[in-house]
Amino acid sequence: MLEWLGPWTLYGACPKFHSTLACCDTSVPGYSGCMRVYDCIRASPSSPPPPKIDNCTLGSIVQKGSPCSTDAVSRLSGQIAAEMGKLGVKLVPLSSDQKKHIECLYKEGCSGRMNPDALSSLVKVAKKKKKRITLKSMWRSAAQQYLLYRFHATGKCDQKYVVDRPGNSAHEGGAAIDVKRETVSTWAFALMTEHWKWPLPSSDPVHFAYQSTSKAHSKYSLIAFQRLWNRHNPESRIAEDGHYGKETEAALSKTPCKGW
Ligand SMILES: [Zn+2]
């Protein structure tokens, strides 16, 4: 369970602190202290009240069908990307130079991260066409994939294109993009000549997958989520297998939008 620890000066007041925890690792915006699994602060009457954190969960977004942009879970996605890095899956953010050739619609949920080979290929395509390519989606975290998958399954947020189950999309491995619908014909040929597969499937015309990496790393996004969940919910551990089963589905639903 996450508990408010308060500012650093309070740590010494807790006798169990030094024996059970090394340091906090999740800062809370607007507070000088940290959040961390903790079991003794409740005994301290001088503890400050828990910070006010909104009660948004992935499940509540699906239930309300709002917000429809997966941008709502960008902080959690950043944590999943970092965890994927620990698993050896490299995702790189767009550099300022690459942004001259690639526009990522962050507010629409585009993460700005991608497999480095796929990203280089994309820059090459844009340079060849002498045009900036606009993307609605690049790498996608398992949390983002969950939202889109559930939006599609429940008929929310006008999610009409096919969505893979979490752990199964080439987006989650950082090897797929979605372009804007009206620009598909502009980019399709140029992308295909640079090893991007299309259409995949024909019912999802905005989607292109980078051939050499394709879905190889997809499940690691979900494994990264499962590892994070277990680290922050030791009392309700789930399998770290990259499989979207009932327990993982329930864990995703309960996960805070802002992560941990
Ligand atoms: Zn796609």
The amino acid that residue 84 corresponds to is M
Question: Does 207 score more than 50 pLDDT?
Answer: yes
Q: Do 157 and 39 fall into the same domain?
A: no
Taking the centre of ligand 1 as the mean of its atom positions, its distance from the CA of residue 181, in whole angstroms, is 11
Q: Do 19 and 69 fall into the same domain?
A: no
CATH number for the domain that contains residue 99: 3.30.1380.10
Q: Residue 120 corresponds to which tokens in the numbers above?
A: 């280089």
Q: Do 76 and 194 fall into the same domain?
A: yes
Q: Do 21 and 93 fall into the same domain?
A: no
Q: How far apart are CA 131 and CA 80, in angstroms?
A: 32
Q: Do 166 and 76 fall into the same domain?
A: yes
Give the residue, 213 or 123, on which the prediction is more confident.
123
Count the neighbouring beta carbons within 10 Å of the beta carbon of residue 176.
28
Taking the centre of ligand 1 as the mean of its atom positions, its distance from the CA of residue 161, in whole angstroms, is 9
Question: Does 31 score more than 70 pLDDT?
Answer: no
Residue 15: inside a domain: yes
Q: Do 19 and 70 fall into the same domain?
A: no
Model confidence, pTM: 0.77
**Structural domain boundaries, residue 119:** 58-210
Q: Do 78 and 202 fall into the same domain?
A: yes
pLDDT band at 200 (very low <50, low <70, confident <90, very high): confident
Q: Do 168 and 115 fall into the same domain?
A: yes
Average pLDDT over residues 118-144: 97
pLDDT at res. 7: 42
Average pLDDT over residues 171-183: 96
* Average predicted confidence (pLDDT) for the chain: 83
Taking the centre of ligand 1 as the mean of its atom positions, its distance from the CA of residue 206, in whole angstroms, is 7
- pLDDT > 90 in the chain, percent: 70
pLDDT at res. 214: 67
Taking the centre of ligand 1 as the mean of its atom positions, its distance from the CA of residue 22, in whole angstroms, is 41
Residue 232: inside a domain: no
Q: What is the dihedral of CA 158, 93, 135, 71, to 10 degrees?
A: 20
pLDDT band at 187 (very low <50, low <70, confident <90, very high): very high
Q: Is the dihedral angle over the CA atoms 51, 57, 61, 64 positive or is it negative?
A: negative
Taking the centre of ligand 1 as the mean of its atom positions, its distance from the CA of residue 53, in whole angstroms, is 32
The amino acid that residue 55 corresponds to is N
103 phi/psi in degrees, rounded to 5? -105, 125
Structural domain count of the chain:
2
Residue 224: inside a domain: no
DSSP conformational letter for 44: -
Average pLDDT over residues 156-179: 93
